[in-house]
Structures are given as C-alpha cells and as structure tokens.
Amino acid sequence: MSSQRLESVKNIIAIASGKGGVGKSTVAVNLALALQQLGNKVGILDADIYGPSIPTLFGLKDKQPSVDPEKKKLLPLEKFDLKIMSIGFMMRETDAVVWRGPMIHKMLQQFLEDVDWGDLDYLVIDLPPGTGDAQLSLSQLIPISGAVIVTTPQDMALADVVRGIAMFQKVGIPVAGVIENMSYFQCPHCSEKTDIFSHGGGKRKAEELKTEFLGELPLDPQTREGSDLGKPIVAENRESSQAIRFREIAEKVQSQLKVINQQKPNIQL
Amino acid sequence: MSSQRLESVKNIIAIASGKGGVGKSTVAVNLALALQQLGNKVGILDADIYGPSIPTLFGLKDKQPSVDPEKKKLLPLEKFDLKIMSIGFMMRETDAVVWRGPMIHKMLQQFLEDVDWGDLDYLVIDLPPGTGDAQLSLSQLIPISGAVIVTTPQDMALADVVRGIAMFQKVGIPVAGVIENMSYFQCPHCSEKTDIFSHGGGKRKAEELKTEFLGELPLDPQTREGSDLGKPIVAENRESSQAIRFREIAEKVQSQLKVINQQKPNIQL
C-alpha cells in the first residue's frame, strides 16, 4: 500500500453497501455536502464503475474534467464547493462496462494518482455495491480511514451488511458505522407512516456487530427527486428535516473518525 | 459456447438489472412461480454471487443440496414444486465473497454442469446486478434464450438499463423485455398513490430502446414481507393483485420467448 498517494487528504471515507439500490450514492453526496456545511474542505470520488451516478446526482452529466498542462494532472470538477471526480465523466451512457478485474484496478489507481485533489479534510469515496474486485483494489491502493455502510432495514439487505463488514475487517479497514436508509415512508396525503422496507434493522444489526449506528433516513420523494435532477437536498434545501438529519450523521462520522485516528499506531517507515 | 450443457432445459431466462436493489430477486422468484402456475416445469438458479438471496426468499437458509451418488450430480432443493439451486447454499452468511473473476467463472460452470435439473420448460437465472464478470461468464457458458431487465422508474436506474441492454447485445443475447418494479406506492391508510421513485420510466425506456415492456409492479409491503419471510407472494396469496400481475407478466414473457425461438437460425453443427 502506498500511503504517499493522497497525502494532502486528511481523511478518506469509503461509502459502501453490501447490496445495490439502497441509496448509497445519494447518501454519499449528501453526506459530503453535510460535512462541508460543518466547515470542512471536501471532495467526492465516484468509484462505482458498474453504475456511476455521481454525474447525474450533481447535474454534471455532459461535463468533463480538464487537465492541468503543467502538473499533468486531472482537475476535478467543482460544484457546491465540492471537488468532484467520476468514472462517469469518462464514458458514454451506452457503454457497457464489461471491464475485467485488472482493468478496474488500473483505472482506480489512475484516479487516485493523477487527480489534483488539493488540500482536503475529507475525501468521500462512493464504492460500487458488494464485495468484489473494486473494493479489494481500493483497499490495496489507498489508506481508507473508515468505511460507512449504508443499508435498508429489510432482512435481505442486512444479511449483506454482515458480509460487507466481514470484508472490510478481512482487509484491515476500520468500519466507522452503519446508516439505515429508507427507514420508513410518511404519506404526503395523510401523514401516516408505513415501514415499507421494515424499520430498525440497521440499528439492531449495528449493535449486534458492535459497530456505531450513525442514524436513520426516511424514504423521501423530495430527496429522490433532488437526486434525479442533480440538486442534492442538503445543498438545495439546507433547512429541510432531511438536511438536518444528514448534518447529524456527518457529526457522528466526524467523531468516529477521530476515535479511529487516535487508535491508529503511529508508525514511521 | 457449449450447447450440450442443460439440453433438458427448453428455455433459459436470465433476470438482470443494470443496478442492484431494484427487487430483481423478488421478481425472479415470483416470475418463476407465475410461469409454473401457467402449467410449466420450472427451475431457478441463483447466480448472484455478490449477494445470493434465493435461500432467504424461499425460507431455505439452513438447507443444503444433496448429491446423487450414482450420477455424481448435485440435486437441487425443491419448494413450491420449483427446483432451486443457489451459491448461497454453499457459503456462510459471514463469508465475504471476495472471489476474483476466474473463480466466479469456475463456480458458475460447476453449477450448470454438475446439477441434475431434469426436464424443465424454464430455468430462471437470477443474475448479479450490473455488467461485470459474472454476466460475461454466464453468457460464455450457456445458451440464454432471453434476458429480462428489471428496473425502478427512477432516472438513475434507467441509465443503467441502457447499459445493461447494450451489454446483452454485445454478447449476442436477445432481450425479452423490461419490467418496471416499485412503480408507485398506495398508502394502506388513505389509499392515495405516491410515485416515490417516479413512475412510467420503464415503459418509456423500453419503447425508446425498441424492447417489449412486460409490465409494472407497485411497491407492495406484503410482497416485501413475503420475501423476507421466505413466503413468496405468488405462492402464498395466488389471488392477490400482485400475483395476478405476475402471471400477466409471465404470459408476456412466454410469448416473447416464442418469438425469439422462431427467429433463431436452426443451425446443426
């Protein structure tokens, strides 16, 4: 592992999920914005090579990063004061990403070495869902400070959380905690709540696995719409209850990383 | 490609999604049951090595397939008159599946060659989400009759549908059609409908890509609960509106496969 890479970045947070479709990318983007609203310099790297959604989430679908001719480095795009890089900027929507493992490894390496991130307090990495090649590659390439696992409350997603945490432990990456997304739905017509995907399983599973529970986020049509329109809820509606929830979660993530960093042995090679 | 394999199986349907968490496995299981209720002999193979959920969906989590000592073949489990095989039967919940591409290929090969499926009208294969190694391997290993793409209506999932269809076309697998899952939510308290994940995008995308639209399925807490409890809605509540919708979709899938089979060149090697 080369810890020389990304030395201007203080903390690297990997946002992971055992299962796809739990809202991982939406959580990654809004968590990055929440960390920034708490006063940090933040970047986000979309490493989801199977379905990069960061360009859509920021309304940057047709944009491309430019190159600094002097440093010979890629310059991340910027929006809402975040530095943003995605594999999605490099491919067309109709490209079938049928890359084999070694190619994924190579591409991620390039994203980490050849991008001019500048000084950052946090780099949030949106991992592909699951426990495959990309996660393995990343853990070999960069010193991830902590992993945040996003799940829905339903039993099937929770089984994958167990698998996800086991994978991070195997490769020696600390788990900062678990976020339960799609916790419940509040009907906009009658205000009654329905636990469409069940409720509370994320907290239960975090306690069972002795990991921090970072918070719950309801199924929220406004958050979903903001994601599809490239207008993340935390940036567009800072006083919404969802934005407040994201800042509470961001505060917990900050505290967890402090604990993790204090526990790290201070080895000079 | 060896078409000798699985010669006792008339049609192989791959259930795919560009993105995870769209309900692909729940759709696969209930579609298999619906095909059977239309009078077919049906098997289901869980090839989702990143998060096998078929054991949970059938309430078979602690079961293991037995071996026929004479034929030296694995015998699929049976429930609701379906033949069932899953990578999940072979691993513990806490195993992190960090297999590299070649190992995935080998395992799928074994599942196809060494399992005694018997005579089947349909073998439904639950693919891992996305466009990675497992899909490539499968397409090299077996003659898939047609792929069914499951999506939610939201923009981000639809972008992945385009990528998924492009992948199948690249490897020469016919696409039988698109199913829109989580189309809307009907509040159980006030009966009002909310398009939580938007609505109608699956149909629009299918028309745009000149592919059959097979039908839409609402977000249904009963269907989700049945999945978590190992009691698939189509088997447990045959007269529910969701079961009726699944049989309508199964009829469309049957017709599509007939069309595809008629178009196939009849080559004898």
Residue-wise pLDDT for B28-48, tens only, equals 999 999 999 999 999 999 988
Q: How confident is the model at residue B94 (pLDDT cuts 50, 70, 90)?
A: low
Dmax of chain B from CA atoms? 62
Kindly state the tokens that stand for B119.
């005579």
Q: B69: distance to nearest CA of chain A, Å?
A: 33
Q: Does the pLDDT value for residue B161 go beyond 60?
A: yes
* Measured distance CA(B49)–CA(B109) in Å, rounded: 13
Lowest mean pLDDT among A25-29, B172-176, B263-267: B263-267
Q: In terms of Cα–Cα distance, which of B123, B204, B139, B194 is closest to A96?
A: B139
Contact assessment for residue A26 and residue A150, using Cβ atoms and an 8 Å cutoff: no
Kindly state the tokens that stand for A59.
């309304």
Chain A, window 49-68: residues with a beta carbon less than 8 angstroms from a chain B beta carbon:
50-51, 53, 56-57
Q: Is the CB of B152 inside 8 Å of chain A's CB atoms?
A: yes
What pLDDT does B121 receive?
Answer: 97
What pLDDT does B2 receive?
Answer: 42
Q: How far is the CA of B184 from the CAs of A196, B55, B194, B239, B241, in angstroms?
A: 12, 27, 6, 20, 14
**Between A203 and A143, where is the model more confident?**
A203
Coil, strand or helix at A216? strand
Q: Is the CB of A223 inside 8 Å of chain B's CB atoms?
A: no
Q: How confident is the model at residue A76 (pLDDT cuts 50, 70, 90)?
A: very high
Q: How confident is the model at residue A171 (pLDDT cuts 50, 70, 90)?
A: confident
In three-state form (DSSP H/G/I as H, E/B as E, the rest C), the secondary structure along chain B is CCCCCCCCEEEEEEEECCCCCCCHHHHHHHHHHHHHHCCCCEEEEECCCCCCCHHHHCCCCCCCCEEECCCCEEECEEECCEEEEEHHHHCCCCCCCCCCHHHHHHHHHHHHHCECCCCEEEEEEECCCCCCHHHHHHHHHCCCCEEEEEECCCHHHHHHHHHHHHHHHHCCCCEEEEEEEEEEEECCCCCCEECCCCCCHHHHHHHHCCCCEEEEEEECHHHHHHHHHCCCHHHHCCCCHHHHHHHHHHHHHHHHHHHHHHHCCCCCC
- pLDDT tens digits, residue range B99-128? 555 666 677 777 878 899 999 999 999 998
* CA angle, A105 then A139 then A39, to 5°: 110
Question: Which residues in chain A touch residue B166, judged by CB atoms under 8 angstroms apart?
Answer: 94-96
**Which residues have a Cβ under 8 Å from the Cβ of B194 and sit 6 or more positions away?**
A185, A187, A188, A189, A221, B184, B185, B187
* Measured distance CA(A178)–CA(A124) in Å, rounded: 15
Chain B, window 224-243: residues with a beta carbon less than 8 angstroms from a chain A beta carbon:
224-225, 227-228
ipTM: 0.82
Rounded to 5 degrees, φ, ψ at A104 are -60, -45
DSSP structure string for A88-141: GGGS-TT------HHHHHHHHHHHHHSB---SEEEEEEEPPSSSSHHHHHHHHH
Question: Which residues in chain A touch residue B210, judged by CB atoms under 8 angstroms apart?
Answer: none
Tell if the CB–CB gap between B224 and A196 is shorter than 8 Å: yes
Q: Does the pLDDT value for residue B93 go beyond 90?
A: no
Question: Which residues in chain A touch residue B158, judged by CB atoms under 8 angstroms apart?
Answer: none
**Which residues have a Cβ under 8 Å from the Cβ of A209 and sit 6 or more positions away?**
A161, A162, A165, A178
Q: Is the CB of A16 inside 8 Å of chain B's CB atoms?
A: no
First to last CA, chain A: 12
Tell if the CB–CB gap between B101 and A129 is shorter than 8 Å: no
Question: Which residues in chain A touch residue B224, judged by CB atoms under 8 angstroms apart?
Answer: 154, 196-198
Question: Which residues in chain B touch residue A225, judged by CB atoms under 8 angstroms apart?
Answer: 198
What pLDDT does A3 receive?
Answer: 43
Mean pLDDT, range A109-122, rounded to an integer: 89
Tell if the CB–CB gap between B51 and A160 is shorter than 8 Å: yes
Q: Which parts of chain A are beta strand (E)?
A: 9-16, 42-46, 66-68, 73-75, 77-79, 82-86, 120-126, 146-151, 175-186, 193-194, 213-219
Length of chain B as a residue count: 269
Mean pLDDT, range A195-223, rounded to an integer: 95
Coil, strand or helix at A157? helix
* Measured distance CA(A241)–CA(A245) in Å, rounded: 6
What pLDDT does A61 receive?
Answer: 87
Mean pLDDT, range A132-136, rounded to an integer: 67
Coil, strand or helix at A180? strand
Tell if the CB–CB gap between A194 and B167 is shorter than 8 Å: no
What pLDDT does A196 receive?
Answer: 94
What pLDDT does A100 receive?
Answer: 52
Q: Which of A111-115, B20-24, B202-206 has the highest mean pLDDT?
A: B202-206
* Model pTM score: 0.86
Q: Does the pLDDT value for residue A8 go beyond 60?
A: yes
Kindly state the tokens that stand for A180.
């339960």
Q: How far is the CA of A166 from the CAs of A3, A15, B186, in angstroms?
A: 23, 15, 37
Mean pLDDT, range B209-215, rounded to an integer: 96
CA B146 to chain centre: 11
Q: How confident is the model at residue B143 (pLDDT cuts 50, 70, 90)?
A: confident
Contact assessment for residue A122 and residue A256, using Cβ atoms and an 8 Å cutoff: no
In a 13 Å sphere around the CA of A52, the CA atoms on its Cβ side amount to: 27
Tell if the CB–CB gap between B196 and A219 is shorter than 8 Å: yes
Q: Is the CB of A181 inside 8 Å of chain B's CB atoms?
A: no
